[in-house]
């Protein structure tokens, strides 16, 4: 079952990439500049319309989908690399080794 799930994810990924490729070649936008998550979002929004449409209307909706996908390319982000460090620093406090009510009583008596 795990293998089948991986195959489904790969199939969905390839479907999205083929949509991006079609949109890029149809509207002369580089396919690598299109957003994968944006394509996924637009496809999810267009699925009910595609399912309810007739075959001639489906072609028109598909062309509209490609146009929407190609409309906003992702901007170029040169030299984008993130350092591999931990953002959160270790705290200087001790670990809680007693129940909370005992620690509260200890704080109030001190």
Q: Tens digits of per-residue pLDDT, 21-67? A: 999 999 999 988 999 999 999 999 999 999 999 988 999 999 999 99
d(CA 86, CA 17): 33
Between CA 28 and CA 108 the distance in angstroms is: 71
- Residue 36's pLDDT is 92
State yes or no: pLDDT of 70 exceeds 90.
yes
* Buried b or exposed e, range 53-76, using 16+ CB within 10 angstroms: eeeeeeeeebeebbebbbeebeee
What contacts 64, CB < 8 A, 6 or more positions away?
46
pTM: 0.67
Triad 27, 30, 33: Cα angle to 5°: 115
CA 1 from chain centre, in angstroms, equals 24
Dihedral sign for Cα 97, 100, 102, 104, please: positive
Backbone angles phi, psi at 56, to 5 degrees: -70, -40
């Amino acid at each position: 079952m795990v293998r089948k799930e991986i195959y489904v994810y790969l199939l969905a990924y390839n479907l999205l990439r083929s949509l991006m490729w079609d949109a890029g070649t149809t509207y002369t936008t580089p396919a690598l500049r299109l957003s994968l998550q944006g394509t996924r979002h637009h496809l999810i929004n267009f699925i009910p319309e595609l399912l309810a449409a007739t075959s001639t209307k489906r072609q028109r909706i598909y062309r509209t989908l490609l146009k929407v996908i190609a409309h906003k390319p992702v901007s170029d982000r040169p030299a984008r690399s993130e350092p591999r460090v931990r953002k959160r620093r270790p705290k200087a406090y001790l670990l809680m080794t007693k129940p909370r009510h005992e620690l509260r009583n200890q704080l109030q008596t001190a």
